[in-house]
Amino acid sequence: MTAAGTTVPPAAAVVVVVVVVVVRRPALLRSAAALMTSTVASAALGFVFWVVAARWFAPEAVGRASAAVSAMTLLAGLAQLNLINLYARFLPGAGRHTRRLVLAGYAASAAMSLLLSGGFLALGMGTGIIGPAPTQRLFFVAAVVGTAIFFITDGVLTALRRAGSVPAKNVIASTAKVALLPLLAGTAAGDGMLVAWSVPMLATMLGVNWWVLARLAPAHARTAPAAPAPARRELLGFASAEYVNGLLTNAVAYLPPVLVASVLGATASAYFYIPWVIGVAGSTLLWNVVTSFVVTASSDATAARAHVDRAVLLVAAVVLPGAAVLAGAAGPLLRLLGGQYAAEGADTLRLIGLSLPFTGVILLYCAFAMMEKRMWPVVTVQSIGIAAFLLVSWVGLPRVGIIAPAAALCMAQAAVAIVLLPGLIRRYRATGDATNAPAWARRTAESETVTADTGGAG
């Protein structure tokens, strides 16, 4: 999934430039370059947003606002049902059912957003984060709905072969956030930060989806041939596994800042939030590669090994310099927000950087599992690792402070990567074996898509 407004390792900008300038022609690289550019640009603007907020607001107010943003994005991440990956796998060949599949996904996500955000507020989980006024609560619910669809739209654009539009969408929203913040700086209790963060996303989401539904989806329906659909059981199995996988990955991405705010308070949350979302952005860059690989391989299975090699090289280009930069430059990077942010958060950021290579292994394995439509084995392994991560984080926070989730993440990702690595190597080798290639690598794009019978299942 795409994490809106996160920060990103500086080395990632170099990766994007190399991809754009040196290897523009292959479709996978064009798509990955567009998505990675979007992540880097919107993340840099998100970093500027929090730098400005840290200068104008007290750490307690920044911590409260960042906890509200984390809660909003956590709920939106759960509510988007991991449709980005389902669209990447099946939308390229949806043919005349394209618009129906997109609308069905949006409707399901909106319903889940209302359910989750309403439950979050009704159970009192927003106390101290979201204001008690009805307008504040209604705004929070609307922001969750809009954010979920904002996330999903990236997947729709990519699947419709318009990944180049994703950077424009996200940069417009991120720029508007920064521009709106000074106008709302005088609001009480940090509400201005939440409003400035959310309103541009809502407006951009509405504008882009008018274009998607009125222009792109009908054009795709006319030009993309619909192929035989997978069995309903196969599609539902893939979708359910993807949803559980989405629950797990979103829990890792967005729950820790909420835990820190709950256990250690708003000030500690402010010092933890920026290092953590830098790690989320690193994972987002890796998911950019995975999503581009799945879209490209689903449309063209005839060059499977070439697609795999490009995906592996791009993952290496993110994780190796990213880990090195975060380990070496954590302090100077966080000092942009203030000396106390660097003093409290540098070690946390270093540990997050060390986890990136393990995350790369896991996500490459996920890419193969998505192409094989066999997500449950990897979901099972990841669920054990994530349960351990959350438990260690919860137990460690009151004992060692904000470094606990970062240390737990590094250990959990390392353990899961070690378990999955042998299977990843076997699958990589199989794509280069003409006599033993996996089934997806022997099929063409015309063999997998969705038809009217399954169009609403997403």
The pLDDT tens digits for 140-197 are 999 999 999 999 998 899 888 787 888 899 999 999 998 888 777 665 545 778 889 9
CB-based contacts of 58, cutoff 8 Å, min separation 6: none
Rounded CA gap, 123 and 421, in Å?
41
Residue type, position 186, single letter: G
User: Can you give the pLDDT at residue 314?
Assistant: 85
Rounded CA gap, 382 and 413, in Å?
9
Say if 342 falls within a structural domain.
yes
Intervals of the chain under pLDDT 50: 1-24, 189, 444-458
User: Can you give the pLDDT at residue 231?
Assistant: 58
DSSP 142-170: HHHHHHHHHHHHHHHHHHTT-TTHHHHHH
Say if 453 falls within a structural domain.
no
**Is-contact 105 152, C-beta < 8 A?**
yes
Rounded CA gap, 361 and 319, in Å?
10
Say if 456 falls within a structural domain.
no
Using the 8-state DSSP alphabet, how is residue 400 labeled? H
**Is-contact 88 295, C-beta < 8 A?**
yes
| Rounded CA Rg of the chain | 21
Rounded CA gap, 227 and 454, in Å?
12
Rounded CA gap, 401 and 351, in Å?
14
Residue 247 is encoded by which pair of tokens? Answer: 């629950």
End-to-end CA separation in angstroms for the chain: 16
Say if 4 falls within a structural domain.
no
Task: Name the nearest CA neighbour of 93 among 448, 455, 372.
Answer: 448
Say if 118 falls within a structural domain.
yes
User: Can you give the pLDDT at residue 7?
Assistant: 43
Say if 87 falls within a structural domain.
yes
Rounded CA gap, 111 and 290, in Å?
27
Looking up tokens 């829990």, which residue turns up? Answer: 251
User: Can you give the pLDDT at residue 141?
Assistant: 94
Using the 8-state DSSP alphabet, how is residue 228 labeled? P
Q: Which residues constitute the domain of residue 414?
A: 11-447
Residue 284 is encoded by which pair of tokens? Answer: 């987002």
Looking at the 3D structure of the chain, how many domains does it have?
1
User: Can you give the pLDDT at residue 322?
Assistant: 87
Rounded CA gap, 54 and 178, in Å?
13
User: Can you give the pLDDT at residue 235?
Assistant: 64
Say if 452 falls within a structural domain.
no
CA dihedral 87, 106, 30, 216 (to 10 degrees): 100
Say if 1 falls within a structural domain.
no
Enclosing H/E stretch for 260: helix 232-264
CB-based contacts of 398, cutoff 8 Å, min separation 6: 263, 264
Rounded CA gap, 449 and 441, in Å?
15
Burial label for 399, CB within 10 Å (0-12, 13-18, 19+), is exposed
Catalogue the long-range contacts made by 180-188 (C-beta closer than 8 Å, 24 or more residues apart).
Answer: 181/49, 181/52, 181/53, 181/56, 182/52, 185/56, 185/57
